[in-house]
Structure 1
Amino acid sequence: MINRERLLAELFELIKIDSPTRNERQIADILKKRLESLDMVVTEDQAGMAIGGNCGNIFAYLPGNLPQAPILLLSAHMDTVDPGLNIEPVLKDGRITSAGSTILGADDKAGIAPILEALRTIQEQGIPHGDIQVIFNVAEEGGLNGSKNIDKTLLRADLGFVLDAVGQPGLIILEAPGQDRINVTIKGKASHAGASPEDGISAIVVAAKAIASLQTGRIDEETTSNIGTIQGGRATNIVADRVEITCESRSRNIGKLERYTTEMCETFIKSAAEMGAVAEVEVTRLYDPFTIMKESEVALLAAQAAQSANIIATFEATGGGSDANYYNRYDIPCLVLGIGMQKPHTTDEFIEEEDLYKSAKLVVEIIKAVAVSRTP
């Protein structure tokens, strides 16, 4: 059904295009031409300007020939994490990896390529379909800033699928967490560490005591927290008067997210006050959690499509966010699909060749299932 050689070649081509977050211009221009060649109406929003990038989100619209069908959204993101420049993909024994010194970029180019191949397939084979909206997002990595700043007036879909989950095709993500970023600045008092240490208040010690009293890592099955970075101090002979800490909390339960974020903030503030220091805390909600019921229309369509593609469907919750968090917030019921990528954000990232083909087959079957889902 799909053209395996074409799909593999396109994935390799996309992987070789440098596309770090906020610098997606080159790959975006190539994708716009590909989408236009498929007779899609292509536009770009101004999200790049809002986030300090050089490119906006790419929208493409393909009118269908089944007007009763819901409008389907297919989405993936264009940006990649570091180290992601000059990637050389390698295929060996059915597994695609990088040459070793970079990430692979299957996150998320192994989401983009199957979407393009599925669109070509339905056109070449004359498969009936409803209207399809494709969105390739910028700046998914580091906070979903592309979808957060998307031009919502351009959204037309009734339901959707984001191809961006770790795990094999057939994995269907029903739940994902919200995330808060917590920036903490602790202000102590400098003094000479040898001559008059008692006159100082060490911001580093304040931070250490606060962090030691926090529960980090996995809090429960749907809640996590992490201390991400710590910066502070000037020299060993100076009591550190300033420390900056970045943390995060995540939960699929909005109430737990808010409670644990509050607990983290109060812990830093209390620890600082006890030692005569001051803690300034800033909280940013990066995105809200979402939950889609297994009995919902979009979930049932995903399972039906998987069965048609001879793929085993599994429903799970995840600990990571994706652009689906914002699509659901914008009232587009949207699931995240496993695309076969493994160990993303590392130089050990890989994808099995067969999983790439399965993803494209699954997208074709999703298009077909959605097309007839509301037939009288």
Structure 2
Amino acid sequence: MVNKERIIHEFLEMVQVDSESGAERQIADLLKDKLTVLGLEVVEDNAGSHIEVGQTTGNIIGTLPANGGKGPLLLFSAHMDTVKPGKGVKPIREKGIISSAGDTILGSDDKAGIAAILEALRVIEEKQIKHGGIQVVFTIAEEKGLVGAKRLDYALIKAKLGFVLDSGGSPGEIIIKAPTQYSFKAAVKGKAAHAGIAPEHGINAIVVASNAIANLKLGRIDKETTANIGFISGGVATNIVPEKVVVEGEARSINPAKAKEQIDHMIEEFEKAAAKFSASVDIEPVKQYDNIDLAEDSLPVQIALRAAENAQIKPHLGQTGGGSDANVFNGQGIACANLGIGMSKVHTTEEFITEEHLVENAKYVVEIIKVAQEIGA
């Protein structure tokens, strides 16, 4: 039922539309038009105005009313933004593979997900497939920390279960576990002094931060938990005892309690180091997103498993150490799995996707809609 050339043509069209994070206006307008033509009621929220000055594009929410089906209202989502370098993408289609010309990313992350959703909507319209209603959410600023999903106007979202198409695994991968993540920024303040004349009058903020970091559990903590220090900045000159240093890091775990325990440990070590050297530290954790923890017998997982079988795609239940919009949706009470869509080497100029995976993704979404009608009523 999926039109191979149609979905490939649409994918090629979309990847050539510039949409780096913060500049999604053009792709948003294109998608609003496409969803409207497909019969969806389309709304753009004001999420962009909450993100940064000059960001005017919001999330796109499309709703297709039930057409006589008895299944649940389903949510399908993908993000509109891409990473850099994402301007002037020139896709190359060769021997069943689509890649960029080599000087930009391709943008299959996540326009392959968008293409699958659009093609599935066309198929259910053409074949008059019954459903209990569909909501489509195309988010902004996913690559900037899932900000679009966090700022989404959830008053517009009525679906209670859904699927995000944004995992790098092959079609059939169903992510049912993903971590809670906390981040922190520690501003350590010591005391400036001349490093050559009176260093004993100073408090070296870099030394304080180094002491804290040396006592941190970092890297792979256990099979569920990781932690990292990713940014350090401070000091003015080699002849000045540095008064201030800023350290940024994170902790994440499939187990929310372990994530909280790890971030608390990191904060405690910075506070202990500051006290040891008579310095001060301004540090506060921020929960970036909630975890995904879907039971194998939960409705979205059961729908996804049976749909994969119907589409002749081998299913695989998996977990990831990364976050996606699905984390945010689950945190909002929407039971949501993240699906593999076959994008490869994302965030690099070697990014590619196969034509076969593009087609399989659309088939899979169609089957999810059909199966939801069968077992979700």
From 301, 306, 309, the counterpart of 1:307 = 309
- 1:66–1:371: 8 Å Cα contact kept in structure 2? no
Q: Which runs of 5+ in 1 are unaligned?
A: none
Measure the CA separation in 1 of the matches of 2:376 and 2:256.
Answer: 33
1:234 corresponds to which residue? Answer: 236
Measure the CA separation in 1 of the matches of 2:371 and 2:138.
Answer: 22
Whether 1:109 and 2:104 are equivalent positions in the alignment is no
1:128 corresponds to which residue? Answer: 130
2:341 corresponds to which residue? Answer: 339
Compared CA separation, residues 374 and 209, structure 1 to 2 (3 A)? closer
When normalised by structure 2's length, the TM-score is 0.95
2:250 corresponds to which residue? Answer: 248
- 1:206–1:271: 8 Å Cα contact kept in structure 2? yes
1:49 corresponds to which residue? Answer: 49
Deviation at 1:281, TM superposition (A): 0.3
* Counterpart secondary structure, 2:117: helix
**AA aligned opposite 1:60:** G
CA deviations over 1:219-248 (Å, ceiling 9, x no partner): 111111111211111122222111111111
**AA aligned opposite 2:189:** K
From 276, 287, 290, the counterpart of 1:288 = 290
Greater mean alpha carbon deviation, residues 17-26 or residues 192-201: 192-201
1:191 corresponds to which residue? Answer: 193
Measure the CA separation in 2 of the matches of 1:234 and 1:374.
Answer: 62
- 2:299–2:376: 8 Å Cα contact kept in structure 1? no
When normalised by structure 1's length, the TM-score is 0.95
From 139, 142, 165, the counterpart of 2:141 = 139
Q: CA-atom RMSD, angstroms? A: 1.5
Matches within 5 A, 1:149-188: 149-188=151-190
Deviation at 1:181, TM superposition (A): 1.2
Measure the CA separation in 2 of the matches of 1:61 and 1:261.
Answer: 39
Deviation at 1:292, TM superposition (A): 0.5
2:269 corresponds to which residue? Answer: 267
Compared CA separation, residues 2 and 67, structure 1 to 2 (3 A)? closer
Q: Which runs of 5+ in 2 are unaligned?
A: none
Measure the CA separation in 1 of the matches of 2:204 and 2:19.
Answer: 41
CA deviations over 1:52-78 (Å, ceiling 9, x no partner): 221111111112323421111111111
- 1:118–1:364: 8 Å Cα contact kept in structure 2? yes
From 273, 276, 279, the counterpart of 1:277 = 279
Measure the CA separation in 1 of the matches of 2:349 and 2:266.
Answer: 32
Measure the CA separation in 2 of the matches of 1:362 and 1:21.
Answer: 28
Compared CA separation, residues 290 and 199, structure 1 to 2 (3 A)? same
Measure the CA separation in 2 of the matches of 1:353 and 1:67.
Answer: 31
- 2:343–2:352: 8 Å Cα contact kept in structure 1? yes
- 1:19–1:79: 8 Å Cα contact kept in structure 2? yes
Report how many aligned residue pairs link the two structures: 375
Deviation at 1:90, TM superposition (A): 2.3
Measure the CA separation in 1 of the matches of 2:224 and 2:351.
Answer: 25
* Counterpart secondary structure, 2:143: coil
* Counterpart secondary structure, 2:283: strand
1:15 corresponds to which residue? Answer: 15
Measure the CA separation in 2 of the matches of 1:120 and 1:327.
Answer: 25
Greater mean alpha carbon deviation, residues 112-121 or residues 193-202: 193-202
Deviation at 1:338, TM superposition (A): 0.3
- 2:291–2:330: 8 Å Cα contact kept in structure 1? no
* Counterpart secondary structure, 2:144: coil
1:211 corresponds to which residue? Answer: 213
Greater mean alpha carbon deviation, residues 317-326 or residues 171-180: 317-326
2:353 corresponds to which residue? Answer: 351
**AA aligned opposite 2:60:** I
2:39 corresponds to which residue? Answer: 39
Greater mean alpha carbon deviation, residues 28-37 or residues 4-13: 4-13
- 2:235–2:243: 8 Å Cα contact kept in structure 1? yes
